[in-house]
Amino acid sequence: MLIENKKTSNKIGGKEVNIKFNNQKNTLFVDLNGELDHHNAKRIREKIDSEFDENGYKNISINLKGLNFMDSSGIGLIMGRYKLVNELGGRLFLTNVNFRVNKILDMSGIHKLVDIYENNEDVLKHL
Amino acid sequence: MLIENKKTSNKIGGKEVNIKFNNQKNTLFVDLNGELDHHNAKRIREKIDSEFDENGYKNISINLKGLNFMDSSGIGLIMGRYKLVNELGGRLFLTNVNFRVNKILDMSGIHKLVDIYENNEDVLKHL
Amino acid sequence: MKDNTMKLEIPSKSQNEAFARVVVASFAAQLDPTIEEIADIKTAVSEAVTNAIIHGYESKIEKIIIECNIIDNRLEIIIEDFGVGISNIQAAREPFYTSRPELERSGMGFTVMETFMDSLEICSEENKGTKIKMVKEFNKPSFEE
Amino acid sequence: MKDNTMKLEIPSKSQNEAFARVVVASFAAQLDPTIEEIADIKTAVSEAVTNAIIHGYESKIEKIIIECNIIDNRLEIIIEDFGVGISNIQAAREPFYTSRPELERSGMGFTVMETFMDSLEICSEENKGTKIKMVKEFNKPSFEE
Ligand SMILES: Nc1ncnc2c1ncn2[C@@H]1O[C@H](COP(=O)(O)OP(=O)(O)O)[C@@H](O)[C@H]1O
Ligand SMILES: Nc1ncnc2c1ncn2[C@@H]1O[C@H](COP(=O)(O)OP(=O)(O)O)[C@@H](O)[C@H]1O
């Protein structure tokens, strides 16, 4: 039978932005998945910031590969993390920026502030 | 870039029920795809009936493999085609009946009237 | 905090049957349903909206209202039309009873709604309209917020 | 025959941002849009609904109304709240202008709406509320009915 009794995991709002952390060369690597809107941005911000504060990183690198929606709340989130690292002399990296996310970042001039690379390996080469 | 400018083909209502016909051993083989609701049932009924009338078939075999939604309009459609072939001494076959469709057919007692087989080859064996 | 509500107004055009079921399914998604539960809900909504279109309004284009409420782990769906109404609700609920056999209606709409949902209430008054209330319970405490 | 309309009422809860954009996208689907057009519409709706929630109602839970109309190949989306309103619309439209920097708002919401839609109108009155009207044109005669 084709349809099993499994969860749709297709939550609205909840549409669970999963965050994964990884530490290399003083840099907090963050994997974002799901939808980045105002509803989810708050939770993401708090998770990133507490991880960043607790473990004394210098840089943050955000991997946007799993992001399937982003509105201008994403600009706020990225700008905010840029300020955070910049005050401490660190850098903010973005990786796997897709066409849609790029369209929104383009409007904001964020390209001038953050370093955008293909993927995590590329970021590590530049550290 | 990940997102191309291609059509979503995710039409509401339109959600195009495609119909394909095929003739073997006096039997009209019909492939249904998409969503079978009241909106689409009318169009499907007309297409099947005009093909059936024009080409003098005896039996109809409906393949439900591509059907991803069906409500009680489907019972009406199947009952109607059963009456059509039955009056002429023919048989109605259903193939690839999935779990959801089966749940609805079960309520209607249709199992007693039509012959349900795994797939088209199975139908051909029983002709 | 999971309580939520929504109200949708659509004209009684048959292409809105699919739209209505997608909207209710999207709303229900916050209860973290199984694929099977979502399919049940879509089917029940499709039946009620179709009835409003063909029976309630007899294909005239008028307003259908769909309201959904989430209260704890319960989803209420209310589908309302202001059409001809049902004169004999008990007869209408019977499996295979249909007033429109010529449209190849099977008379199984209410039976499907009853089978797929946990409860079904029908309020109707002739020439005033019909209001269907269906409830589905989601018993798992699976909502994280 | 392709003309259609819908009206949705939701409370100003942030989890309804995702629901609102799915509903409008599903409605827009009947215009046979490209994936890119659907993404534009979802983003614009998300901006306007978010604004109603955080600016219009300042996080109180009140009613947001979303209305969509399809007229020929044009989709109109109207998003309305009955909140604090905007005192200086011209300033609000400026890129990077935000009254809530402490919430990490970027001030790019209206700019996104303008960029992704074909037109944007803002009607607002202080302490009465705000009504955003956005239009997207679909120029291909691709609808078969
Ligand atoms: N919204 C409605 N307005 C008026 N009559 C209705 C409505 N819904 C149902 N009915 C009546 O109840 C009958 C049974 O409905 P249902 O079980 O859904 O079967 P069907 O739609 O196949 O006829 C219909 O044939 C119709 O006479
Ligand atoms: N619905 C609304 N009600 C009240 N004020 C609003 C509304 N929408 C926008 N505004 C005002 O316009 C400003 C600019 O909005 P926008 O460009 O979307 O940026 P942002 O949401 O990032 O602040 C907001 O900061 C707010 O002051």
Q: Which residue has its alpha carbon closest to ligand 1 atom 6?
A: C55
- Half-sphere exposure (CA, 13 Å, Cβ side) for D109? 27
Kindly report the protein residue whose alpha carbon is nearest to atom 6 of ligand 2. D55
End-to-end CA distance of chain A: 52
Cα separation, C42 vs A10, whole angstroms: 15
What pLDDT, on a 0 to 100 scale, did the predictor assign at position B12?
A: 38
Tokens found for residue C111: 């039976």
Mean pLDDT value of segment C92-119:
97
DSSP character string of B13-74: TT----EEEEEETTEEEEEEEEEESHHHHHHHHHHHHHHHHHHT-SEEEEEEEEEEEE-HHH
| ipTM of model | 0.91
Instruction: Answer yes or no: is pLDDT of C92 > 80.
Output: yes
Q: What is the pLDDT of residues A26-60, one digit of tens each?
A: 999 999 999 999 999 999 999 999 999 998 899 99
Give the CA dihedral C32, C34, C38, C41, nearest 10 degrees: -90
Question: What's the pLDDT at C141?
Answer: 52
Q: How far apart are CA C3 and CA B48, in angstroms?
A: 46
Q: What pLDDT does A12 receive?
A: 38
Is D105 a catalytic site residue?
yes
Q: Is C143's pLDDT higher than 60?
A: no
Residue D61's contacts (CB-CB under 8 Å, 6 or more residues apart) are D11, D12, D13
The pLDDT-based confidence of A10 (bands split at 50, 70, 90) is: very low
Asked if the Cβ–Cβ distance from C15 to D30 is below 8 Å, we say: yes
Axis-axis angle for helices C109-116, C35-51 (nearest 10): 150
Q: Does A9 score more than 70 pLDDT?
A: no
- Looking at the DSSP bridge assignments, the partners of residue A37 are none
* Contact list, D22 vs chain A (CB under 8 Å): 12
Task: With beta carbons less than 8 A apart as the criterion, state whether D20 and D48 touch.
Answer: no
Average pLDDT over residues B89-117: 94
* Per-residue pLDDT at B22: 77
Length of chain A: 127
Average pLDDT of the residues of chain D: 94
Q: Are A97 and A105 in contact (CB under 8 A)?
A: yes
Q: Is the pLDDT of residue B69 over 70?
A: yes
- CA-CA distance, B70 to B35, in Å (whole number)? 6
Cα A118 → chain centroid: 14
Least confident piece of the model among B11-20, B52-61, C94-103, D42-51: B11-20
For chain A, domains (ranges, CATH) are 3-125 (3.30.750.24)
- Chain B (5-44) residues lying within 8 Å, Cβ to Cβ, of chain C: 12-15, 35, 37-39, 41
- Percentage with pLDDT > 90 across chain A: 74
Average pLDDT, chain B: 87
pLDDT tens-place string over residues C28-60: 999 999 999 999 999 999 999 999 999 999 989
**φ and ψ at B91, to 5 degrees?**
-125, 155
Pocket lining: C21 vs ligand 1, CB cutoff 6 Å: no
**Backbone phi, psi, residue A60, to 5°:** -125, 135
- Per-residue pLDDT, B1: 33
Per-residue pLDDT, D76: 98
Q: Which residue has the CA at smallest separation from atom 19 of ligand 2?
A: D107
Report pLDDT for B127. Answer: 87
What number does the ligand 2 atom closest to the CA of D110 have?
A: 17
Give the model's pLDDT for residue A1: 33
- Name the band, by pLDDT with cuts 50, 70 and 90, for residue D142: very low
Which atom of ligand 1 is nearest the CA belonging to C132?
Answer: 1
- pLDDT, tens only, C133-142: 999 999 765 4
Q: Does A11 touch chain B (CB under 8 A)?
A: no
Helix (H) or strand (E) holding C7: strand C4-11
pLDDT, chain C, mean: 94
Residue ranges covered by each domain of chain D: 4-137
- C-beta of residue A91 within 8 angstroms of C-beta of residue A82: no
DSSP lists the bridge partners of residue B63 as B31, B95
Provide DSSP, D47-92: HHHHHIIIIISTT---EEEEEEEEETTEEEEEEEE-SS--S-HHHH
Q: Which of C1, C2, C5, C78 to mutate to test the interface with D (most CBs of D within 10 A)?
A: C5
pLDDT, average across residues D87-112: 97
> Structure tokens of D104?
């990490």
Q: In this structure, what token pair is assigned to residue B68?
A: 């991803």
- pTM of the full structure: 0.92
Question: Which comes out higher in pLDDT, residue B5 or C2?
Answer: C2
pLDDT category, D145, cuts 50, 70, 90?
very low
Tens of pLDDT, residue by residue over B10-63, are 443 345 567 778 788 899 999 999 999 999 999 999 999 999 999 889 999 999
Question: Nearest bound ligand to CA D105?
Answer: 2
What burial class does residue C66 get, using C-beta atoms within 10 Å of its C-beta: 0-12 exposed, 13-18 middle, 19+ buried?
buried
Nearest chain C alpha carbon to D2: C15
Q: Is the pLDDT of residue D144 over 80?
A: no
Are C45 and C8 a contacting pair, CB within 8 Å?
Answer: no
Interface of B with D in 57-96 (CB under 8 A): none
Mean pLDDT for chain A overall: 87
* CB burial of residue D12 (10 Å; 0-12, 13-18, 19+): buried
Read off the pLDDT of each residue in A5-12 and give the average, rounded to a whole number: 46
Task: Look at residue B19 in the predicted model and tell me its pLDDT.
Answer: 78
Parallel, antiparallel, or unpaired: how do β-strands C119-125 and C129-137 relate? antiparallel
Give the C-alpha separation, A108 to D115, whole Å: 12
Q: Which of C82, C91, C95 is nearest to C126 (CA)?
A: C82
Q: How far is the CA of D98 from the centre of ligand 2 (A)?
A: 6
Q: What is the C-alpha separation between A18 and A22, in angstroms, rounded?
A: 13
- How many H-runs (helices) and E-runs (strands) does chain D carry? 4, 5
Q: What is the 3-state secondary structure (H, E, C) of C68-89?
A: EEEECCEEEEEEEECCCCCCCH
Nearest beta carbon to residue D26 from set C5, C23, C30: C23
C9 and chain D in contact, CB less than 8 A: yes
Asked if the C-beta of A4 comes within 8 angstroms of chain C's C-beta atoms, the answer is yes
CATH code of domain D4-137: 3.30.565.10
The pLDDT value recorded for residue D141 is: 52
Contact B14 D30 (CB under 8 A): yes
CB contact (8 A) between residue A4 and residue C35: yes
Contact list in C for residue A13 (CB cut-off 8 A) is: 30
Nearest atom within ligand 2 for CA of residue D98: 25
Type of residue numbered B97? V
